[in-house]
A = this chain, B = another copy of it.
Amino acid sequence: MDYLAKIYITLKPAVNDPQGVTVLGALKNLGFTTPANVRVGKYLELSLAAESQDAAKTQVDEMCKKLLANIVIEQYRFDLEEVPANTSGG
């Protein structure tokens, strides 16, 4: 079965986010007065084959821990979608 994992990686709330502060400053400079806070994270779409949803979940969790997220300063969560098997061009 094919699955699509949508992975969201964000800095832990206690960790400073200079990139977010820069984006917020840029928005203010452009004349946007309403934003109060910006945090920047990563978003990954990962397609994988696995025997079951549980197997896929375990795999993705492992990938996040070993490579995708820096779990010292980042937290991650992900959604899994089952993808109907078809030949997608691209």
Chain A residues close to B by CB (< 8 Å): 2, 8-10, 13-14, 20, 23, 26-27, 30, 32, 34-50, 56, 59, 62-63, 66-68, 90
Q: List the B side residues contacting A62 at CB < 8 Å.
A: 32
List the number of copies, as a whole number.
Answer: 2
Contact status A35-B63, CB under 8 Å: yes
Q: List the B side residues contacting A13 at CB < 8 Å.
A: 90
Known: A30-B66, A63-B27. Contact between A39 and B48, CB under 8 A? no
Contact status A49-B34, CB under 8 Å: yes
Instruction: Write the chain B residue with the least CB distance to A8.
Output: B43
List 18 A-B pairs, Cβ < 8 Å: A2-B36, A10-B43, A13-B90, A14-B90, A23-B44, A23-B67, A32-B62, A34-B56, A35-B46, A35-B47, A36-B48, A37-B45, A38-B45, A38-B47, A41-B45, A42-B42, A42-B43, A43-B43
